[in-house]
């Protein structure tokens, strides 16, 4: 069973028959223009393989499957009149697909750190704007096999779509059968709620430009709030609520950004165990994982002497606005919500409860659609207004966090088994921390990316994810325990190595 390659078998010259210039959508334009030296707008992914991969085999996969999306032969051209996708007349696959080697030959831990440093360098380096904004780097002789590092600009598509694009390079068998489709192996309906949200987007986007302008004026003139809520209805009220949010509290996780990023990843968690905690706490897998992230950040901050009693940080979380079976369609189709991370709460179970409560409230709000409409409006707005709006909203969060569902069976890339899979999301404005969660082959993979000036040692954060989840697993599976019971005392009963 393999992915269909019918689209890759287009007649010669089909690319030339496409329009040489295609207007970029408003939302994609907004992501293109969010690029900053301190925050490149790239989604970076790593695929680790059990067996060696050759450069020629990888190029063949990219040529047949990745370039089956004609968009990836196009470069982004931005002008005051608007942004467009333009065919790259000098497209060179050799520039986009490269081979690299890590320095030295050492133990697995040192090898992992070397790959983290390599990915950090790539995540800190903007893509060449004169070419299509993507690259693949093949790392030879990693972990007994190979690793592939992919960098793709956010303007091409959102994280859900780009992860599915990367997975479209894979097969579910080492020797794939022709004309089979991988999509049915894991893409599922996202529920009727998605259709309802999508149906509301067009209506709200018509108000986007007007609401954005008045919302920014409201920062200087709060008397406009009543008018905005009245004229914009529900979208106005949601925007008013977002603008009224206080800035996130100062911690060592916020501050002036530099131009270097650091990435790290944790040992994967067992997805069945995460589901078991979710059932015990009557919440979702995502609630459990985000609570574990909050616990890891809490422990990191406490160790570094931060006073976080009662402190709540926020993360901007993308909300998918299309069915997952449409995830391979390029473009950005998601909104953003502000999720509270209760790092000041010492009780692990209560952290789960608070995250779940916040997420349930967000699911019943229009905040994600409001954000989508605002992004569309930003795509048309003058650069000065874009900068002010981006800074205004990014001050209200400390991190970007995303959770992408992946296939729950082993995959193969060019005949090599895919052992691990992870990715890192870009941060926007003044945000310097990104948390990425991806499930694959019944395991949950955590990735962390941070501004090097704020968190020079992201591994010190990410390695806490496992121990924080162990706390939840232990406490949740105790059963009907008294929620007023001192969780710290209970955790003292855990074995020392936990």
- Compute the Cα dihedral for 380, 314, 404, 134 and give only its sign: positive
> 266 pLDDT band (50/70/90 cuts)?
very high
Q: What is the C-alpha separation between 498 and 356, in angstroms, rounded?
A: 25
Q: Which residue has the higher pLDDT, 73 or 14?
A: 73
Q: What is the pLDDT, as a whole number, of residue 369? A: 66
Domain count, the chain: 1
pLDDT above 90 as % of the chain: 52
Length of the chain measured in residues = 498
State the average pLDDT over residues 434-451. 94
- Residue 62 covered by a domain: yes
Q: Among the listed ranges 45-49, 257-261, 448-452, 477-481, which one has the minimum average pLDDT value?
A: 477-481
Q: What is the pLDDT, as a whole number, of residue 4? A: 36
Q: Which residue has the higher pLDDT, 47 or 391?
A: 47
Q: What is the C-alpha separation between 274 and 280, in angstroms, rounded?
A: 10
Q: Which residue has the higher pLDDT, 474 or 14?
A: 474
Q: Is the pLDDT of residue 241 over 90?
A: no
Host H or E run for residue 84: strand 82-87
State the average pLDDT over residues 371-381. 66
- Residue 274 covered by a domain: no
Q: What is the pLDDT, as a whole number, of residue 131? A: 97
Q: What is the pLDDT, as a whole number, of residue 237? A: 64
Query: What residues does 99 pair with on adjacent strands?
Result: 138
Dump pLDDT digits (tens) for 321-353. Answer: 766 555 557 888 777 888 999 999 999 999 999
- Residue 129 covered by a domain: yes
- Residue 45 covered by a domain: yes
pTM of the model: 0.82
Q: Which residue has the higher pLDDT, 159 or 58?
A: 58
> 159 pLDDT band (50/70/90 cuts)?
confident
State the average pLDDT over residues 465-477. 90
- The label of the residue with tokens 């895919």 reads 418
Q: What is the C-alpha separation between 368 and 259, in angstroms, rounded?
A: 29
- Residue 355 covered by a domain: no
Dump pLDDT digits (tens) for 102-135. Answer: 887 677 788 999 999 999 999 999 999 999 999 9
Q: What is the pLDDT, as a whole number, of residue 227? A: 42
CATH number for the domain that contains residue 104: 3.30.559.10
Q: What is the pLDDT, as a whole number, of residue 193? A: 34
Question: Where does 330-432 show beta strands of DSSP type E?
Answer: 334-341, 399-404, 412-413, 416-424
Q: What is the C-alpha separation between 431 and 400, in angstroms, rounded?
A: 7
Smallest CA-to-CA distance from 65 within 26, 97, 33, 104 is with 97
Q: What is the pLDDT, as a whole number, of residue 3? A: 37
Q: Are 339 and 358 in contact (CB under 8 A)?
A: yes
In angstroms, how far is CA 11 from the centroid of its own chain?
Answer: 35
Q: Which residue has the higher pLDDT, 245 or 398?
A: 398
Q: Which residue has the higher pLDDT, 497 or 196?
A: 497
Q: Is the pLDDT of residue 357 over 80?
A: yes
Dump pLDDT digits (tens) for 197-235. Answer: 333 333 443 444 444 444 444 444 444 444 444 444 555
Q: What is the C-alpha separation between 92 and 134, in angstroms, rounded?
A: 12
Q: What is the pLDDT, as a whole number, of residue 54? A: 94
Q: Is the pLDDT of residue 495 over 60?
A: no
Q: Are 419 and 267 in contact (CB under 8 A)?
A: no
- Residue 68 covered by a domain: yes
Q: Which domain holds residue 90?
A: 14-185
Q: What is the pLDDT, as a whole number, of residue 202? A: 36
71, 196, 375, 167: CA torsion to nearest 10: -40
- Cα 207 to Cα 147, 203, 204, 248, 318: the distances in Å are 45, 7, 5, 28, 21
| Biggest CA pair distance of the chain | 70
Q: Is the pLDDT of residue 156 over 90?
A: yes
Q: What is the pLDDT, as a whole number, of residue 244? A: 74
Q: What is the pLDDT, as a whole number, of residue 57? A: 94
Q: What is the C-alpha separation between 196 and 320, in angstroms, rounded?
A: 12
Q: What is the pLDDT, as a whole number, of residue 333? A: 78
List the structure tokens of 261.
Answer: 């990023």
Q: Among the listed ranges 94-98, 123-127, 172-176, which one has the minimum average pLDDT value?
A: 172-176
């Amino acid at each position: 069973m393999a992915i269909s390659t019918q689209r890759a078998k287009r007649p010669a010259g089909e690319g030339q028959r496409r329009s040489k210039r295609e207007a970029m959508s408003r939302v994609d334009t907004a992501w293109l223009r969010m690029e900053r030296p301190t925050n490149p707008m790239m989604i970076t992914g790593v695929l680790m393989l059990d067996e060696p991969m050759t450069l020629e085999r990888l190029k063949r996969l990219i040529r047949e499957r990745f370039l089956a999306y004609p968009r990836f032969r196009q470069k982004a051209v931005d002008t005051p009149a608007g942004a467009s996708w333009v065919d790259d007349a000098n497209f060179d696959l050799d520039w986009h697909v490269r081979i690299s080697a890590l320095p030295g030959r050492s133990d697995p831990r040192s090898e992992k750190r070397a790959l983290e440093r390599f990915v950090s360098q790539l995540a800190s380096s903007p893509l060449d704007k004169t070419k299509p904004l993507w690259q693949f780097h093949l790392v030879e002789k990693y972990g007994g096999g190979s690793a592939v590092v992919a960098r793709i600009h956010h303007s091409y598509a959102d994280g859900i779509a780009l992860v599915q694009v990367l997975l479209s390079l894979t097969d579910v068998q080492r020797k794939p059968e022709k004309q089979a489709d991988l999509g049915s192996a894991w893409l599922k309906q996202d529920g009727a709620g998605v259709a309802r949200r999508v149906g509301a987007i067009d209506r709200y986007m018509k108000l986007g430009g007007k609401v954005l302008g008045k919302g920014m004026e409201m920062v200087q003139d709060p008397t406009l709030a009543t008018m905005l809520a009245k004229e914009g209805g529900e979208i106005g009220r949601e925007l008013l609520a977002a603008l009224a949010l206080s800035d996130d509290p100062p911690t060592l996780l916020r501050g002036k950004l530099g131009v270097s990023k650091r990435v790290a990843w944790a040992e994967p968690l067992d997805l069945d165990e995460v589901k078991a905690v979710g059932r015990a706490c009557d919440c979702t897998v995502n609630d459990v994982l985000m609570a574990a992230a909050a616990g890891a950040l809490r422990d990191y901050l406490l160790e570094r002497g931060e006073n976080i009693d009662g402190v709540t940080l926020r993360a901007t979380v993308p909300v998918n606005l299309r069915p997952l079976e449409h995830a391979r369609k390029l473009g950005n189709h998601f909104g953003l919500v502000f999720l509270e991370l209760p790092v000041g709460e010492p009780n692990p179970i209560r952290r789960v409860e608070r995250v779940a409560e916040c997420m349930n409230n967000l699911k019943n709000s229009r905040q994600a659609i409001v954000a989508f409409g605002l992004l569309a409006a930003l795509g048309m707005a003058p650069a000065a207004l874009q900068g002010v709006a981006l800074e205004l909203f990014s001050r209200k969060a400390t991190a970007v966090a995303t959770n992408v569902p992946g296939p729950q069976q082993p995959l193969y890339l060019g005949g090599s088994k895919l052992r691990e899979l992870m990715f890192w999301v870009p941060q926007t404005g003044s945000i310097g921390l990104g948390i990425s969660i991806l499930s694959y082959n019944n395991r949950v993979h955590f990735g962390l990316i941070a501004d090097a000036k704020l968190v020079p040692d992201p591994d010190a954060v990410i390695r806490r994810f496992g121990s924080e989840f162990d706390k939840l697993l232990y406490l949740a599976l105790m059963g009907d325990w008294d929620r007023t019971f001192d969780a710290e005392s209970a955790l003292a009963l855990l074995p020392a190595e936990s």
